[in-house]
Amino acid sequence: MAIISKIRSNSWLLIILIGFALAAFIMMDMFSGEKSIFGGGQTTMAEIAGKKLDYKEFSIAEQTLYGNASGDVFARRNALWNYYVEKALVEKEAENLGLGVSIAELNDLEFGNKVSPIIQQRFTNPNTRQLDRERLNSFKSAIASGELEGGSRQFWAHQQKEIIKDRLQSKLGGMVTKGMYTPSWMAELAHADQNQKIDFAYVQVPFDDVDGSSIGEPSDADYQAYFNNNKGQFMQDEETRKLSYVVLDVLPTTADSAAIEKELATLVEDFKADGVNDSLFVENNYGSMDAAYLKRDQVSSAVADQVFTADLGTVIGPYLDGKAYNAVKVIDRKVIPDSVKCRHILRRASNQAEFLAATKTIDSLKTVIENGAGTFEDLAKSHSQDGSNAPKGGDLGYAFVNQMVKPFNDLIFFEAEKGKVYSVITQFGIHLVRVDDYKYLNNEEGVKLAFLRQAIVPSEETQAARYDDMLEFVGQNRTMDALQASVDANPNLNIEVSPPLLKNDFTVGALGAGQSSRDMIKWAFVADSNVGDVSPQVYTYQDPVEYYSSKYVACALKSIQPAGLPQLANIKEELRPLVINEKKAALVSGGDLSSIASKYDAKVDTAKSVTFRSAFIPGLGSEPKVVAAAFKQGVNALSNAVVGNNGVYMVQPIAKPDPGAATNIPQLKKTIGLTNQNQVRSGLMNSIKKGADIQDNRNRFF
């Protein structure tokens, strides 16, 4: 009661506090969320031609399409991003032109006689390479009856958007290509390009064979001249940045290796014990054991002789094999057939509902066969979903080892008994299988083994120690100059430079793709990162196989290059070898082909029947500048030195017969028109993107 009285006597204070709380709540609502007074945008990932893309929508689509799929998450996001960009741009163009996709047209694209390429891709039978109508119709029935499950329903809804976008894009392409025309002069010029052939002699001098000691270091004028002559190669649409980085590899110590060997030796003693359950022991200790019998050439040479002579149950090891200590137990040995004749009944399954239905069907068929109420052959004809083999009673003929997918292969070669019926699950669905015959030609013995393996990796202590080393290194070197000085003083360290990076890239040079690379790039593009800064973070890279911290990286921002033409100073390192090659080419000129070949211990080669469009020339490779020089020169006239992809070239045409006039201009115009239309279709989307206003905020979210 005393507390209540006190509150009542100070009610003014309570009112003020409540007022402050309400004001704070209102202010929070005003300044945050999609309805903030500043227009929201906290979840706006992009604005594409005036249309906003919300991060929540993007995330739902990513989960729907990829779920828990493995692989490069950043590559998947990039592909999904491109879809959303193209979708927004296509819809805008379609709206302006009055294009659309009706419900009837959409239904036909999903289930009709001319289904969308997207349906063709996702519903193709991998065996027959034909559209799997049965599987497609199962979705159609589930949609009609309202029985499509949550995840499948979301997938199909997104797929419909993909189909509509693809169809609209196809219509846009059709409108553009229908407006194209090929004039006669263009057809005649194309005829000349395709039919004008030339024979030319040439000498190739590899860049390294040209003594550049007299050249010296390129001057600023040399760099400027090369840059002025090749500006188009360096123009860029977006800002790029370069990183300099130092890598500290994390390697196991001698003590780490000894501890791993000792740990495996202890396991070996337990593995030898009487009555041990081999499968359970291997599973509990991260080993491997399957149904396959290995031939001698499939077993490590370190133990091959022993496993084929030792008693069953013998454990061999620990032994060193590559970068791991191993131990192996001999489980069984037997002669392996060279081929097996079998039959199967396949029920396809790609989701849980289909899997349950397929299991029920296979179990029922197995019971019918084992009870003698039906033959395998007849049931395969009426129930198998393997279109190519069902009419033959499921007969697969004779298969060789490893010709089939592994679960199927292991069953028929190593587990199944002739004449008995078995079920096995593979990536194609559930199979009912019967082995009818074996062929033994080589009578080669195979051995079934159980493996224990301990990779030789750095211990947690070693990884932590190396991390501390890199953390100290970063703390002591807070500028690019300091970083370079420390590397110069330590012969065990090197500085590497990344290629030019865009703000949404996820790969850094030789470090590859991944979250750490993405984090480095995000740091490089934050507003307060300046050229010469060193990131305060140590970036960790994991070994992709053993999943330990294999590299620690320190990085600095080396350069910032705005969109447009780069500053010459920012690309000097890239230009240096190109400028030097130009100067080397100037040294090669002089004399005829024979004297040049003699001087550089080269030879005079000949290229024959080369057209202007030849992309690859036998003996020469891909050298478009050489081809251009050959067509530019008159017959028997020696070219100037040509800086090619693989060296300096001197070129001399020796024959250039007249191609003759085109005889069928209408047909040629039609052929050229189709080629040009295909090129326009493939490049249309990129042209639309270049002209679009796209505000890309992806780097705020990932």
Helix (H) / strand (E) containing 650 = strand 648-655
Contact 327, 317 (CB under 8 A): yes
Q: How far apart are CA 54 and CA 42, in angstroms?
A: 9
DSSP state, 697? -
pLDDT in tens, 95-105: 999 999 999 99
Amino acid at 123: F
Q: How far is it, in rounded angstroms, from Cα 171 to Cα 100?
A: 9
Nearest to 445, CA basis, from 340, 337, 339? 337
Where does residue 154 rank: exposed (0-12), middle (13-18), buried (19+ CB within 10 A)? middle
pLDDT at position 9 over 90 = no
Average pLDDT value for residue range 346-367: 89
Instruction: State the average pLDDT over residues 482-486.
Output: 95
Tell me what pLDDT residue 224 has: 93
Predicted confidence at residue 153, as pLDDT, reads 87
**pLDDT band at residue 68, thresholds of 50, 70 and 90?**
confident
For residue 641, what pLDDT is reported?
A: 92
* Each residue's pLDDT tens digit, 256-292: 999 999 999 999 999 998 888 999 999 999 899 988 9
The predicted pLDDT at position 337 comes to 94
Q: Which pair of tokens denotes residue 178?
A: 């229908």
Q: In whole angstroms, what is the distance from residue 254 CA to residue 647 CA?
A: 47
* pLDDT given at position 671: 87
- Three-state secondary-structure class, residue 695: strand
Stretch (H or E) spanning 209:
none
**Least confident window among 336-340, 352-356, 382-386:** 352-356
Q: What is the DSSP string of 473-525?
A: HHHH--BHHHHHHHHHH-TT--EEEPPPB-TT--EEGGGEESHHHHHHHHHHT
Over the chain, what is the mean pLDDT?
89
Region of residue 251 (phi > 0: left; psi between -120 and 50: alpha; otherwise: beta): beta
Is residue 327's pLDDT more than 90?
Answer: yes
3-state secondary structure of 659: coil
- Helical (H) or strand (E) element with 215: none
Q: For the chain, what percent of residues have pLDDT higher than 70?
A: 94
Cα distances (angstroms) measured from residue 51 to each of 25, 47, 58, 225, 684: 30, 5, 14, 45, 20
Mean pLDDT of 516-524: 96
Asked if pLDDT for residue 479 goes beyond 80, the answer is yes
How crowded is the C-beta side of 562, counted as CA atoms within 13 Å? 2
Residue with tokens 């690859």: 616
Query: What token pair was written down for 137?
Result: 């119709």
Question: 316-355 in b/e burial notation, b at 16+ Cβ within 10 A?
Answer: bbbbebeebbbbbbbbebeebbbbbbbbbbbbbbbeeebb
DSSP letter at 214?
Answer: T
- Residues 39-48 have pLDDT tens digits of 446 889 999 9
Half-sphere exposure of 224 (CA within 13 A, CB side): 3
DSSP string for 414-438: IIPPTT-EEEEEETTEEEEEEEEEE
Cis before residue 657, ω within 30 degrees of 0? no
Q: Which residues, in sequence order, are bridge partners of residue 51?
A: 48
Q: What is the dihedral of CA 534, 540, 544, 550, to 10 degrees?
A: 100
pLDDT the model gives residue 66:
85
Query: 456 with 325: CB under 8 angstroms?
Result: yes
pLDDT in tens, 583-638: 999 888 778 999 999 999 999 999 999 988 888 888 888 999 999 999 999 999 99
- CB of 506 within 8 A of CB of 452? no
pLDDT of residue 41: 60
pLDDT band at 190 (very low <50, low <70, confident <90, very high): confident
Average pLDDT over residues 176-183: 90
Q: DSSP letter string over 293-341?
A: -B-GGGS-TTTHHHHTTSPTT-EEEEEEETTEEEEEEEEEEEEPPSEEE
**Arithmetic mean of pLDDT, 446-461:** 96
Q: Detail the DSSP E strand segments found in 216-323.
A: 240-249, 315-321
Segment 522-534 mean pLDDT: 91
Report pLDDT for 406: 92
Q: What is the pLDDT of residue 195?
A: 84
Reported as type and span, the H/E element at residue 178 is helix 150-178
Residue-level pLDDT at 234? 87
Is the per-residue pLDDT at 30 higher than 60? no
pLDDT at 430 over 80: yes
Q: Is 342 left (phi over 0), alpha (psi -120 to 50) or beta?
A: beta
Q: Please, are residues 345 and 435 in contact by the beta-carbon 8 Å criterion?
A: no
Distances in Å between the Cα of 294 and the Cα atoms of 82, 118, 182, 332 are 46, 42, 63, 10
Strand, coil or helix: 370: helix
**Pick from 455, 456, 457, 477: nearest CA to 466:** 457
pTM of the entire structure? 0.74
Full strand arrangement of the beta sheet holding 648-655: 604-611, 197-205, 648-655, 642-643
Give the highest mean pLDDT range of 124-133, 185-194, 297-306.
297-306
Give every CB contact of residue 365 below 8 A, 6+ residues apart in sequence.
345, 374, 379, 383, 432
pLDDT of 130: 81
Residue partners of 602: CB distance under 8 A and separation at least 6: 203, 204, 205, 209, 596
| pLDDT value, residue 570 | 82
What is the Cβ-side half-sphere exposure of residue 395, based on CA atoms within 13 angstroms?
A: 9
CA-to-CA distance for 420 and 418, rounded, in angstroms?
6
Return the structure tokens found at 599.
């001087």
pLDDT of residue 6: 44
